[in-house]
Chain A
Amino acid sequence: MDCAGLSDRLAAYLDGQLGSAESELLEAHLERCPDCVGLADAMSGQEFAPLTEQERANICGAEDFWGAMDCALNPALEKLSPTCATRVDWVHRRVTLPLPMVLAYAAAFGLAVIWGANHMVRAEAAVESAATIGQELEQERRLAAEPRTAPRPQPYRLVNHTPQRDTF
């Protein structure tokens, strides 16, 4: 391990987070490099001094410290409630539509009614005409099936009224 490699791993070594193999390499380098020993000493002397549990408790443990956050988050939490999610207010839901949309729906409904009535009249006429045609066809079929009773007309007798030449 060289100086650059050591400086990359020194914090992890001081935190005890380095693997045993890398730690041995780092320690071997420290034995022969006084500059890196100086750096390691300086870094190990750093004191970050995080808040103690007591200090944390003094700040966040105050009465109703989280009250404002609870109040702010509760409405959003309500929406996550499974009972609330299934109990959608279909009954109390207000549906508002703009006037042009209402007029458009009404016009479309009126046109649909007129179109339907028109088609109903045409359908009735078609049924009536089909019934009439059926009657006529039935009559023709009946006539065709009956034997002819009308007498045959007498054949005409050809009479030559042309004067003969010899008769003059």
Chain B
Amino acid sequence: MAADLKLVSPDQASAWSEPEIKDLAGRNPRSAMELVIRKWRQSLFYHAAYIVKDGQEAYDIVQEVFIRAMREKRFFNPDFKMKAWLFRVTSNLCFNTVRNRKRRGTLLEGMVRPEPIAPDQLEQVFASERRSEMMTAMEGLSENHREILILRYYDDLSYAEIADVLGVKLGTVMSRLSRARQRILDVMDSAPAA
């Protein structure tokens, strides 16, 4: 059993499949959860960062997701889809954060925020010329469209995995993705005029 989270390397964790982790959880739930954290925290961090555009908030959200995973009694059940659950909870927390930020945006402007973890790198990466236009255009989309575009083109999830995360059928994933991409075209076309 790994005595500490640092002893499980990301490479080791990514080699474990969901059924193997569930099998391990029957004998040692702590090690299984350590593997889950190691395996998915980077993907979840970037998924959150694409939505909230803030490294510190994304970091806190991922941490909260894993705490919720530890409280979730069904998490290691054989028919439980761990990856889909983790991405779904991350998305929900991220969009809640964005909504709250919008609601009290002016209120927080003057407040001192904690020292961010990786703001410079994230902002720099997101603001690069080849990305900024697309990232800005995505701001104008609905939450459903933003989420499905991020899951597909930034988190690189398959259509089947996206269907699991969103709890919809494969055909719905295809049509929603198409509409989201068409909406992006509309937003980008209307942007210069605005």
Judged by a CB distance under 8 angstroms, whether B98 is at the interface is no
Q: What is the distance, in angstroms, from B158's C-beta to the closest C-beta of chain A?
A: 8
A80 touches B30 (CB 8 A): yes
Q: A10-B181, A46-B134, A77-B30 are in contact. List 20 more A-B contacts (CB 8 A).
A: A43-B182, A46-B181, A46-B185, A47-B130, A47-B134, A48-B134, A48-B153, A50-B153, A51-B154, A55-B125, A56-B42, A59-B55, A59-B118, A59-B122, A60-B45, A68-B117, A69-B41, A73-B37, A77-B34, A79-B70
Given contacts A9-B175, A82-B30, contact A56 B67 (CB under 8 A): no
Residues of A within 8 A of B180 (CB): 11
Contacts of A2-41 to chain B: CB distance below 8 A = 7-12, 15, 17-18, 39
Q: How many residues of A contact B (CB 8 A)?
A: 39
Q: What is the distance, in angstroms, from A91's C-beta to the closest C-beta of chain B?
A: 23
Judged by a CB distance under 8 angstroms, whether A70 is at the interface is yes
Q: A50 is contacted by which of B5, B55, B156 (Cβ under 8 Å)?
A: B156
Cα distance A74–B154 when bound, in Å?
A: 29
Q: List 11 A-B contacts (CB under 8 A).
A: A7-B179, A50-B153, A51-B46, A51-B125, A51-B154, A66-B41, A69-B63, A76-B67, A77-B30, A80-B33, A82-B27
Judged by a CB distance under 8 angstroms, whether B121 is at the interface is yes
B33 touches A11 (CB 8 A): no
Residues of B within 8 A of A56 (CB): 42, 46
Contact surface of A with B, Cβ cutoff 8 Å: 7-12, 15, 17-18, 39, 42-43, 46-51, 55-56, 58-60, 62, 65-66, 68-70, 72-74, 76-82
Residues of A within 8 A of B34 (CB): 77
Judged by a CB distance under 8 angstroms, whether B52 is at the interface is no
Q: What is the distance, in angstroms, from B146's C-beta to the closest C-beta of chain A?
A: 12
Q: A72 is contacted by which of B45, B63, B131 (Cβ under 8 Å)?
A: B63
Q: Give the residue name and chain of the A residue nearest to B28 (CB).
A: A82
Cα distance A102–B180 when bound, in Å?
A: 66
A70 touches B122 (CB 8 A): no
Q: A8 is contacted by which of B5, B27, B130, B174 (Cβ under 8 Å)?
A: B174
Judged by a CB distance under 8 angstroms, whether B94 is at the interface is no
Residues of B within 8 A of A47 (CB): 130, 134
A9 touches B154 (CB 8 A): no
Cα distance A130–B121 when bound, in Å?
A: 98
Residues of A within 8 A of B30 (CB): 77-78, 80-82
Residues of A within 8 A of B70 (CB): 73, 76-77, 79-80
Judged by a CB distance under 8 angstroms, whether B165 is at the interface is no
Closest 7 CB pairs of A and B: A48-B153, A8-B175, A11-B178, A12-B174, A11-B177, A80-B30, A81-B30
Cα distance A59–B57 when bound, in Å?
A: 15
A17 touches B159 (CB 8 A): yes
Q: What is the distance, in angstroms, from A68's C-beta to the closest C-beta of chain B?
A: 8
Residues of A within 8 A of B153 (CB): 48, 50
